[in-house]
A and B are shown apart, each in its own frame.
Chain A
Amino acid sequence: MKTKQKDKVNIVTLGCSKNLVDSEVMLTQLKGNQIDATHESKKDDANVVIVNTCGFIDNAKQESIDTILRYADAKEEGMIDKLYVTGCLSQRYRDDLEGEIPQVDAFFGTMELPLLLKKFKADYKNELVGERILTTSNHYAYLKISEGCDRPCSFCAIPLMRGKHVSKPIEQIEAEARNLVKNGAKELLLIAQDSTYYGLDIYKKRNLAELLQRLSDVEGIDWIRLHYAFPTGFPLDILDVMRERENICNYLDMPLQHGSTVILKHMRRGTTREKQEELIQTIREKVPGIALRTTLIAGYPGETEADFEEMRGFVERSRFERLGVFTYSHEENTHAHNFEDNVPEEVKQERANEIMAVQEQIS
């Protein structure tokens, strides 16, 4: 075992940009407590490792588990003293993980940063809320506008890990944006689980348009980019703001998940193919030249050849500028898990490939 006077901590992050922001907050809190902490340091000199995991779908979970196991081995070999695991996988499967990987000193959920800090005899410092040491290049930064999700999408495990939707107050997001600009950010990437829901909980109305306006007014921001827009209940007033404001990118990430009305209904998306097409048309009319990004799922339980053809036609007609496809991952404790995962893996993959081939002709 390495003998060290003082802990040297390294944080390793798996998964999405929301998780990365959590790691940045963790890093800021550790350093604010005078703890020597790094993020994904190339040097192998940390004696404490914190793995911030992803628990979303099969591949992501496997990657998180492999990473934990790698550090569990490092601990067995005496390369590190302590191993902590936090984030979504740990929130979702803590009991199983505790049994399976005893080398881990402690597991934490997605909302347990104060408890994690206690392991370092550190306190959660409220004065650091809104401060963030970036792990991306300083010129762009992710900015979380809310946490959690109230949507009942059948396939999705996120509410199990991130809880109900909680919007951050506009003033708090503004302050965070000013801090980021002060530290060199020129581009803000707005993220959430469901960004178009923004405000419904705390302001009793969808309030994304006002938030965009207020952020657009913050001096020094050249680009504001909106991600994770949910199509149902889409606040159309944001489109006027997007068109009118120079520093809001003509870009929208809107994961639509499917293009067949039957499957969308099974997915409990609250929308239909026709409604999605209508929304896309409105967006393109109101924000000329916009680049639309979407993501889709191939091989949902019960997806027939006809359903898939409907999705393919939808992709052909919608002409997304950017598109990604995932194969369906059967997640326990989701609504869709009650159904049989009956599309064979190779068919899921073929369908995903086919969508990408169609898209290649478009973008």
Chain B
Amino acid sequence: MLIDRKESGNFIGRTEYDSPEVDNEVIVTSDTNHLRIGDFANVKITDATEFDLHGVPIL
């Protein structure tokens, strides 16, 4: 996924299958320093809601 922004402690990004503004987002809960806005990251999806996915980084 590509990380778009950080919001209240979570990193929020998109997969290859999602366009900004209109499609789903991936919410990554992480206190790691390994993620940065504008970087690509590999994420393990742990949960899915109606519009968003939740995941944890694969380091």
Contact = CB atoms under 8 A, between A and B. Distances in A.
Given A249-B16, A250-B17, A251-B17, A138 B38 contact: yes
Nearest to A321: B17
Contact of B22 (A137, A187, A322): A322
B22 A324 contact: yes
Interface residues of A, number: 24
Interface stretch (A86-94, A155-163, A197-205, A220-228): A220-228
A340 to B, nearest CB: 31
A222 B13 CA distance: 15
A253 B37 contact: no
A137 B38 contact: yes
Contact of A186 (B5, B20, B23, B38): B38
**Dominant SS at the A interface?**
strand
B23 A187 contact: no
A360 B19 contact: no
Contacts of B40: 186, 222
A321 B51 CA distance: 12
A136 B20 contact: yes
Interface residues of B, number: 16
Contacts of A291: 16-18
Nearest to A250: B16
Contact of A293 (B2, B16, B22, B50): B22
Contacts of B37: 137, 139
Contact of A225 (B5, B19, B21, B38): B19
B2 A139 contact: yes
Contact of A189 (B4, B17, B19, B50): B19
Contacts of B18: 251, 291, 322
Interface of A: 17, 136-140, 184, 186-187, 189, 222-223, 225, 227, 249-251, 253, 291, 293, 321-322, 324, 360
Interface of B: 2, 4-5, 16-24, 37-38, 40, 50
A-B residue pairs, 3 tightest by C-beta: A139-B38, A291-B17, A249-B16
Given A186-B2, A187-B2, 16 more contacts: A136-B20, A137-B4, A137-B38, A138-B38, A140-B2, A140-B4, A186-B40, A223-B16, A225-B19, A250-B16, A251-B18, A251-B19, A253-B19, A291-B16, A291-B17, A293-B22
